[in-house]
Amino acid sequence: MTSGFDPALAQSLGFDRTDLECNQRGTLSPNQIARLRAEHTGMVGQSHVAAIVMGVFYVGVTIAGVVGAAREGGTVLALQVAGVLIGIGALAGLANVIHYYRTRRGPGLRVYRVEGMARCREESDSFRVDIGSVTFYVAATVYGALCDGQRYRVYYVDQPFVHMLRPVSAEVAL
């Protein structure tokens, strides 16, 4: 069933024949599920750290702005500046809460499939591969394993955290 198995693609995307066979049946293998969940958990951790750092920075800027306004224009200006900055902070906090609830469910574990001719393009700081009507932004190793003009069948998942499609396996379409 894995007649289009390409070892170079398998190595670059990190899958094996068992993973590909599961993907061909429309499911993820247990190893793929574990990798996707671990990847998602890492992204969530990085996002939390970034949010905390930005929050601390914003509180510092708010305090400095209010103190500066109090020195230059008195209490009324300080309260106005504080109100504006607290309002902006509240909106940013609300956006973070909404993002958290949208992405907390974890990675998408539904396998999608696209088949078509590969159109590989190296852009300024990324590698883009169009297959059929789907666009993938891939690592240099994956880009190097694909041949422009070759027909592929790519199995992928939706990554709601980063709003991208992630290939989990691929095969040469015969």
The predicted-structure confidence for 105-162, as pLDDT tens digits, reads as follows 666 678 999 999 999 999 888 899 999 889 999 999 999 999 999 999 999 998 766 6
The Cα angle at residue 31 between residues 25 and 35, in degrees rounded to 5: 115
If one counts the domains in the chain, the total is 2
Whole-number pLDDT of residue 19: 94
Q: Are residues 156 and 90 in the same domain?
A: no
Q: Is residue 2 part of a domain?
A: no
Whole-number pLDDT of residue 136: 92
pLDDT digits (tens, 9 = 90+) for 5-31: 899 999 999 999 999 999 999 999 999
Alpha-carbon gap, residue 75 to 131, rounded angstroms: 61
Q: Are residues 156 and 136 in the same domain?
A: yes
Whole-number pLDDT of residue 114: 95
Q: Is residue 1 part of a domain?
A: no
Domain end point (choices 107, 129, 158): 107
- Could you tell me the residue range of the domain that residue 76 belongs to? 33-107
Tokens representing 132 are 């059929």
pLDDT digits (tens, 9 = 90+) for 25-47: 999 999 998 888 888 777 777 77
Whole-number pLDDT of residue 2: 58
- In this structure, are residues 77 and 135 in contact, taking their beta carbons and an 8 Å threshold? no
What are the beta bridge partners of residue 119? 130
Domain end point (choices 58, 90, 107): 107
Domain end point (choices 88, 107, 126): 107
Q: Is residue 154 part of a domain?
A: yes
